[in-house]
Amino acid sequence: MWEFLDKAGEAAMRRTRIAAVAATAALVLAGCVGTGAGPTGKRVAGDADIPELTWAMPGAPRSLDIAHALDTRSNLAIFAAFDGLLRMDADGELQPALATSWTNPDPLTYVYKLRQGVTFWDGKPMTAEDVAHSLRRQADPAEAAETQLYLTRLKEVAATGPDEVTVRLTTPDPMFKYVPALVWIVQQKEYAEAAGKSLGSPEKPGMGTGPYRVTRFSPADGVDFERHDGYWDTRPKVAKLAYKPIPDPEALRLAMMSGEVDGTFGVPLQDIRKWERTAGISMYYTRTISVNYLSMDVTTAPFDDVHVRRAIAHSVDRQGLLDPLFGGRARLSSSPVSSLQLETMVGKEKAAEVIGSLPTYPFDLGKAKEELAKSRYAGGFTVEVPYPTTQPWSRLLLENLARNLSTIGVTLVPKAQPDQQWVANIYAHKDLKLQIMRAGGGTPYPGEMLPMMFGQASAGPNGFNTANFADPELEAKLGSLGEDVAPIAEIMRLNAEEVPYVPLFEEDAAHALRAERVFSPDPTPWLAGFNWAIALKAAA
């Protein structure tokens, strides 16, 4: 659930035990809100086959085995080819896939009924043992799977019948129900065991039941897919799908412009003005569940003074930056909890009510000055703020903040750092002071991030409580997180009053597609649990 977009983010996620669909978070997109369209307006899907289609992403998959590829780019390739047990719909609801139904007889037991007559790419039928092994394998410590972070409470997985798999947990886990959609990717047991460590590599890309077979895979220049004709579900329209890495966003845009690439997910929002103006490209926007924020270490000077934190909160021109940083495709955030997750849980109205009642800190340098004057550091101070070089918007935000703070006597020096170093600093949990961060969960559950941001256990090395904001009362609230929204709302309020974290923006995700293609259905915030390749159609 935690996410620092791009490479840094991926790395961060995989290192922690924090539950999260890191990967997908980058483009985890929630309920299809505001689907934009190209200059000619929304198009309708036609019925024609697309013989070849090229999809581009900033990087190639590292592996095609979800156990060792828990990042956005790899996951997109995996979800295009393989099936999971379940899928997530546009509202974040779970839908049948390889499992036709499931039950949760007690908080520790999940029973899945499997679809019959499903065959692997090689024509062999899928068995319950294949399905069970696919998850069991990931929980095996010897496998050192990145997906283990979802499976810490997993006790056992067993084929309990020819069409039934049963999972048992050690303790209740409000988020386990999403695992079958997010990481339970079915691989043929025989193939996986034969491949061993090299499963997911170019030599042994994998054996699944999904709509596409992998014909070629290279971690350097992407994947080629070919339609699997024996697919159990709707036949996809694209016959041959190529997945290409293009790291430079500008090169990617040029490639799309020239028609060499048909589409991409996750266009940098800073660039969308440019993309919007590019002929022949339709843009699609969805909300996401990621929130970016400033974090201040409440245990070190000068951020141990709430007035200083409020002064900082008043100094960010969030409204003004909305356009230059995100092309207007973001909304101001007033809490570290994603509003989309909140809405998914309690509905729009209730969510708006909870959020509306929180105190806010509008951009007002006068008030910032007042707050600073009230603090113990009225004379101002100097602080260096690191940011990862791959995160251009954080540089712009910090430069804006630095400029504003300079008028009230505070010197802020933005300091670019290579991703890895920046991530390492966060992990080391030292010299945190002021940080610019981004959190993004993987499931629709709004309490997903809170233990990480406010828990006592996270206020140390390898933890993400970068504000070191923790006390027993808060700990108790975190302990009571469940299907009730109340403790979540209380933590939101506490944050708004004490401002260890200054919520900044909730970004949208922008996706681009050549105008002669359409998405049907449109992309949703829950892309992780969904086969996007099936949704690609020719425009009518």
Partner 1 sequence: MFVLAFLGKRVLAAAVTLLVTSFLVFSLLAASPGSPEQTLLGARQPTPELIAALRAQHRLDDPFPVRYWHWLSGVLELDFGRSVRSSREVVDILAERLDVTLWLGLYAFVLVLLVAVPAGLSAGIRRDTAWDRGVTVTALLGVSAPPFAVGLMLLSVFGVGLGWFPVFGAGSGFADRISHLTLPAVALAVAGVAIVARQTRAATMDVTAKDFITFAEARGLPRRVVLGRYALRNSALPVITSAGLVLAYSLTGAVLVESTFALPGLGSLLVESVSTKDIPVVQGLALLTAALVIGVNLIVDLCYLGLDPRVRHAGGV
Partner 2 sequence: MIVRALSAFALGLVVIAALLGDWIAPFDPGAQDLAGTAMPPDAAHWLGTDELGRDVLSRLIAGTRTALLGPALVALGVAVLSTAIGLLAGYRGGWVDSAIMRAVDLVYAIPPLLVAIVVVGVFGGGYPLAIGVLIALSVPADTRMVRSAVLAQRNLAYVEAARTVGLGRGRILFAHLLPNVLPTVVANLLLSFVGALVGLAALAFLGLGVGTGAPDWGRMLAENKGLVDLNPAAMIGPAVLITVVAASVTLLGDRLYDLMSARGRDAGRA
Q: Which residues bind partner 2 (CB under 8 A)?
A: 249-250, 268, 270-271, 273-274, 277-278, 317, 320-321, 323-325, 389-390, 392, 395-396, 399-400, 402-403, 413-418, 420-421
Cα-to-chain-centroid distance, residue 393: 18
Does 537 sit near partner 1 (CB under 8 A)? no
* CA distance to 156, 332, 361, 496, per residue, from 311 (Å): 51, 18, 9, 13
CB of 76 to partner 1, least distance (A): 16
Rounded Cα distance, 143 and 68, in Å: 9
Q: What is the nearest approach in angstroms of partner 2 to the Cβ of residue 257?
A: 10
The least distance separating partner 2 from the CB of residue 260, rounded to whole angstroms, comes to: 18
Q: Which is nearer to partner 2, 194 or 251 (CB)?
A: 251
- Indicate whether 258 belongs to the interface with partner 1 (CB under 8 A): yes
CB nearer to partner 1: pick between 257 and 515: 257
Rounded least distance, CB 70 to partner 2, Å: 24
8 A C-beta contact, residue 190 and residue 123: no
Residue 255 touches partner 1, criterion: CB under 8 A = yes
- Considering the rule CB under 8 A, would residue 226 count as an interface residue with partner 1? no
Binding partner selected for residue 146 from partner 1, partner 2, none, CB under the kind-specific 5 to 8 Å limit: partner 1
Contacts 24+ apart (CB under 8 A), 149-152: 149/13, 149/14, 149/16, 149/17, 149/18, 149/19, 149/20, 150/19, 150/175, 150/176, 150/179, 150/182, 150/183, 151/179, 151/183, 152/17, 152/19
**Cβ proximity to partner 1, 115 vs 204, nearer residue:** 204
**Residue 116, Ramachandran bin (φ over 0: left; ψ between -120 and 50: alpha; else beta):** beta
429 near partner 1 (CB under 8 A): no
- Partner that binds at residue 160, options partner 1, partner 2, none, CB closer than 5 to 8 Å by kind: none
Judged by CB under 8 A, which of 3, 83, 130, 146 binds partner 1? 146
Token readout for 116 is 């019959």
| CA proximity to 245, closest of 44, 73, 104 | 73
Under the binding rule (CB under 8 A), the answer on residue 62 touching partner 1 is yes
Instruction: Tell me which residues in 374-393 interact with partner 1 (CB under 8 A).
Output: 389-390
**From candidates 245, 268, 451, 525, binder to partner 1 by CB under 8 A:** 245
Of 156, 127, 128, 123, whose CA–CA distance to 140 is shortest? 156
CA dihedral for 300, 306, 307, 310, sign (positive or negative): positive
Binding-site string for partner 1 from residue 272 to residue 311, where x marks contact by CB under 8 A and - marks none: ----------------------------------------
Return the one option of partner 2, partner 1, none that residue 274 interacts with (CB less than 5 to 8 A, by type): partner 2
- The answer for residues whose C-beta is within 8 angstroms of residue 475's C-beta and 6 or more apart is 455, 456
Task: Read off the amino acid at residue 125.
Answer: P
Residue 5 CB, nearest distance to partner 2 (Å)?
A: 15
Among partner 2, partner 1, none, residue 403 binds (CB under 5-8 Å by kind): partner 2
Shortest Å, Cβ 363 to partner 2: 10
60 binds partner 1 (CB under 8 A): yes
Cα–Cα distance between 42 and 538 in angstroms, integer? 13
CB atoms under 10 Å from CB of 220, counted, come to 7
Report the nearest approach of partner 2 to the CB of residue 406 (Å): 8
Q: For residues 60 and 307, what is the distance between their CA atoms, to the nearest angstrom? A: 46
Does residue number 152 form part of the binding site for partner 1 (CB under 8 A)? no
Amino acid 72 reads T
For residue 110, the number of C-alpha atoms closer than 13 Å in the C-beta half-sphere is 26
Q: What is the dihedral of CA 132, 134, 139, 144, to 10 degrees?
A: 160
Strands 290-296 and 238-245 turn out to be unpaired
Q: Kindly tell me which of 21 and 32 has the beta carbon lying closer to partner 1.
A: 21
- Among 17, 235, 376, 415, which residue interacts with partner 1 (rule: CB under 8 A)? 17
- Exactly one of 107, 161, 172, 418 binds partner 1 (CB under 8 A); that residue is 418
Cβ atoms within 10 Å of 413's Cβ, excluding its own: 11
Q: Report d(CA 271, CA 284) in Å as an integer.
A: 14
Residues 103-132 that bind partner 1 (CB under 8 A): none
Q: Which residues does 484 contact at the CB level (< 8 Å), separation at least 6?
A: none
Contact between 239 and partner 1 per CB under 8 A: no
**Which one, 35 or 421, has the nearer CB to partner 1?**
421
Taking the complex as a whole, how short is the minimal distance between the CB of residue 408 and partner 2, in angstroms? 15
328 contributes a contact to partner 1 by CB under 8 A:
no
Side-chain half-sphere exposure of 253, counting CA atoms within 13 A: 18
Q: Is 219 in the site for partner 1 (CB under 8 A)?
A: yes
Q: Is residue 25 within 8 Å of 77, Cβ to Cβ?
A: no
Q: Contact between 457 and partner 1 (CB under 8 A)?
A: no
Minimum CB–partner distance for residue 144 and partner 1 (Å): 5
Residue 145: helix, strand or coil by DSSP?
A: coil
Cβ of residue 416: shortest distance to partner 1, in angstroms? 12
Using CB under 8 A, list all residues that contact partner 1.
7, 10-15, 17, 56, 59-60, 62-63, 68, 141-142, 144-146, 148-149, 197, 201-202, 218-221, 244-248, 250-252, 254-255, 257-258, 260-261, 389-390, 418-421, 424
